[in-house]
Amino acid sequence: MRFFTTLFVSVLTALSPLTHYSQSPVNYPETEQGNVSDIYFGQNIKDPYRWLEDDRSPKTEAWVKEQNKVTEGYMSEIDIRSKVHNRLTELWNYNKQSAPFKKGDYYFCYRNTGLQNQSVLYMSTLLDASPESWTMVLDPNTLSADGTVALNNISISKNSKTMAYSVSKAGSDWQEIRFKNLETKKDLPDVIKWVKFSGVSWKGDGVYYSRYDEPKGSAFSQKNTGHKVYYHKLGTQQTNDELIYKDDAHPDYNFSAQTTNDERYLIIYASSSTSGSLPMIKDLKQKNTKFILLAENENFNFDFSIIDNIDSTFYLLTNKEAAKYKLVSFTFSNFQIQNEKIVLPESNELLEGVRLCNNKIIADYLYHAASKMFAYDLNGKLIQEIKLPGICKVRGVNTNKDYNFATYSISQFIAPDQVYYLDAETFESRLIFKPECSFESDNYITEQVFYRSKDGTKIPMFMTYKKGLQFNGETPCFVYGYGGFNISLGPEFRIDRALFLEAGGVYCVPNLRGGGEYGKDWHKSGIKCRKQNVFDDFISACEYLVAKKITNYNKIAIHGRSNGGLLIGAVMTQRPDICKVALPTVGVLDMLRFHIFTIGRAWTVDYGCSEVEEEFKCLYKYSPLHNIKEANYPATMVLTGDHDDRVVPAHSFKFAATLQKMNKSKEPMLIRIDVNAGHGAGKPTTKQIDEFADMWAFTMHHLEMSMN
């Protein structure tokens, strides 16, 4: 999931080009080429670096060490590297806190004093208790010497006596579920292994969870199939866990289990990708009954989410027949779904989140990718708008239908997350936590602009910069994008971006098609053979910045992570002239083979699959790895982690090796491979600072920026 206080020590400023930014030519290690190829619908596709897919082999490990040695050598010559690292450490060192939530008699929240590798879980009987009077429940920093064991999810039993929690190591998606007695703060002997893509839901003295069978091959690259739901009773061995649900006919499906707050009903969601679900429900008071489908969704075209229930009345958020979502209610009794009613109809804005609170509805909407929040009665009648502070994104709304309050946090581009308490009688909010950060938030501003993409589609973009900054066609711009999987990029404070803002740069976030900012239609317009729309939207954002004489192409850096790494890989291979610096991070870069590793097959709903002829043609046309040609590429740093089992590092390995062979410019083609790190979630603070410091030193060096 995505928390610190020092004096302002240095100020970053943008300077004109400096002659001391010369760099020795890079001598890349020789990467062996194999004679490997595949036939796709009569077309022979070579894959000379296939051997790098074996990420645990001694040969690949040796290649990783050599590449990191080259990258470290290059970075050691950048004179602002240590200054960037020091200032980033200062900026990072501020207090952070999540929005508290209540379970039983206790309140829980996460805190970080500043530079702790992992945030610490605390509990209290009083919400307004002073920070020092809260009791520490679990400090993940004690679980490993280097901070690479992360706390992922927690779930508190209904009687608030026991906590289930999951941990992961070295950034892996694999998790272990453990249990802690909240009175003694001691761990119970129960341990559940080989858990992935799972929540934890309590029922009595046990939990429902999802897992795979123990891998027979590489745990970090083997394809994940055969997901199942189990029930674990405290005090028993995992081998005795009760199998609750599986689907042998669809081994690629994933399943997540959810119990209602009253623990009477069990809901299971089946999915085949990162969006779209098939919901099923079961009354746990009825013995030996089957699950009842809540809705037909054979091709997983729609999303469904049970928000809450009041006795036998359920509230369901869905985009079926409502591209921007609606809230419906229904009753479930005698194994039948009845009395369906639309409570909040689809509107012109995206209905992003719904909670029941004090037997009322709190709903947050996205208005051009920024949040607005409203209160309604249970029949959908508007009570009032809940005031929010400017352009922001609502995060982590915590409440219960029986509580007369809620807590939530808001995120902005210019300030760290703040936490609010909402009175569910008056619907007035009060600030309960504001961090102390050395970044001078009041000196910066965020505006939203709109531009036209290649096909004329209107695209919004957030631009954040220092107040009074004069654009002169030479202003450094950092453009960050994603554009996929129905995920929205809204206002979000990223402390590492503060370096760039302090230096007089402009931080730009375009809301590309393929994301979820405007609902299902916006998402669908950027998937499969329409994926080029996403790249065109991003390219048009860069062209807009140049056309408006804000910057020029030699002053633009582009960045994206995961699916955003694909975005950067595609953009830089299609338009190598579009930027001076490219930073594809943990990217999906081999579009012909992504589906054969770990959970990659779940992405075919967004990308398509090379085993389908029409989709192969589209994928091959833009696949970053397969579209590297002899060209003058921008200064490039590929970033990945050697334990990434979400997007396996072979994508980045093969991409970097090919770039190093084909690049004709004098710019470096580096790869930075984080050791004992994964896709990003749970990465310790020290590793994050090291990674971002290198990323920003590399970027500022090539954009000819400096620090005072």
In a domain, residue 535? The reply is yes
pLDDT of residue 11: 29
DSSP state of 469: P
Closest C-alpha among 309, 305, 300, 345 to residue 324? 345
The rounded distance, in Å, linking the Cα atoms of 198 and 72 is 37
Q: Which residues pair with 372 in a beta bridge?
A: 365
Write down the pTM of the prediction: 0.90
Q: Are 197 and 173 in contact (CB under 8 A)?
A: yes
pLDDT of residue 681: 62
Residue 224 reports pLDDT greater than 80: no
DSSP state of 26: P
CATH code at position 488: 3.40.50.1820
Residue 75 reports pLDDT greater than 50: yes
Per-residue pLDDT tens over the stretch 399-421: 999 999 999 999 999 999 999 99
Per-residue pLDDT tens over the stretch 590-612: 999 999 998 888 899 999 999 99
In a domain, residue 40? The reply is no
Instruction: Return the percentage of the chain with pLDDT > 90, whole number.
Output: 84
Q: Is 286 exposed, middle or buried (0-12, 13-18, 19+ CB in 10 A)?
A: exposed
The rounded distance, in Å, linking the Cα atoms of 334 and 353 is 30
In a domain, residue 668? The reply is yes
Q: Is 361 helix (H, G, I), strand (E, B) or coil?
A: strand
In a domain, residue 579? The reply is yes
Per-residue pLDDT tens over the stretch 15-54: 233 333 345 579 999 999 999 999 999 999 999 999 999 9
Q: Are 705 and 14 in contact (CB under 8 A)?
A: yes
In a domain, residue 89? The reply is no
135 — phi, psi (to 5°)? -95, 135
Q: Find the mean pLDDT for residues 695-702.
A: 98
pLDDT of residue 6: 27
In a domain, residue 103? The reply is no
- Judge whether 130 counts as a catalytic residue: no
The rounded distance, in Å, linking the Cα atoms of 160 and 157 is 5
**Angle formed by the axes of helices 685-702 and 58-76, to 10°?**
60
Residue tagged active-site, from 679, 701, 702, 706: 679
In a domain, residue 580? The reply is yes
Instruction: Return the percentage of the chain with pLDDT > 70, whole number.
Output: 94
pLDDT of residue 89: 97
- Judge whether 453 counts as a catalytic residue: no
Residue 170 reports pLDDT greater than 90: no
Q: Are 656 and 671 in contact (CB under 8 A)?
A: yes
In a domain, residue 500? The reply is yes
The rounded distance, in Å, linking the Cα atoms of 28 and 26 is 6
The rounded distance, in Å, linking the Cα atoms of 478 and 456 is 23
pLDDT of residue 276: 83
pLDDT of residue 5: 27
Q: Which residues pair with 336 in a beta bridge?
A: 333
The rounded distance, in Å, linking the Cα atoms of 676 and 699 is 24
Domains identified in the chain, total number: 1
In which band, very low, low, confident or very high, does the pLDDT at 467 lie, cut at 50, 70 and 90?
very high
Three-class secondary structure assignment of 447-461: EEEEEECCCCCEEEE
pLDDT of residue 707: 84
Cα atoms in the Cβ-side hemisphere of radius 13 Å centred on 84: 27
676 — phi, psi (to 5°)? 60, 40
Q: Find the mean pLDDT for residues 259-277.
A: 90
| Domain range enclosing 605 | 444-707
Q: Which residues of 221-243 are buried (b: 16+ CB within 10 A; e: fewer)?
A: beebeebbbbbbeeeeeeeebee
Per-residue pLDDT tens over the stretch 281-334: 999 998 888 899 998 887 888 999 999 999 999 999 999 999 999 999 999 988
Residue 7 reports pLDDT greater than 50: no
The rounded distance, in Å, linking the Cα atoms of 605 and 357 is 35
Residue predicted with more confidence, 680 or 574: 574
Per-residue pLDDT tens over the stretch 628-655: 999 999 999 999 988 667 789 999 999 9
Q: Is 629 exposed, middle or buried (0-12, 13-18, 19+ CB in 10 A)?
A: exposed
Residue tagged active-site, from 305, 562, 623, 706: 562
pLDDT of residue 675: 82
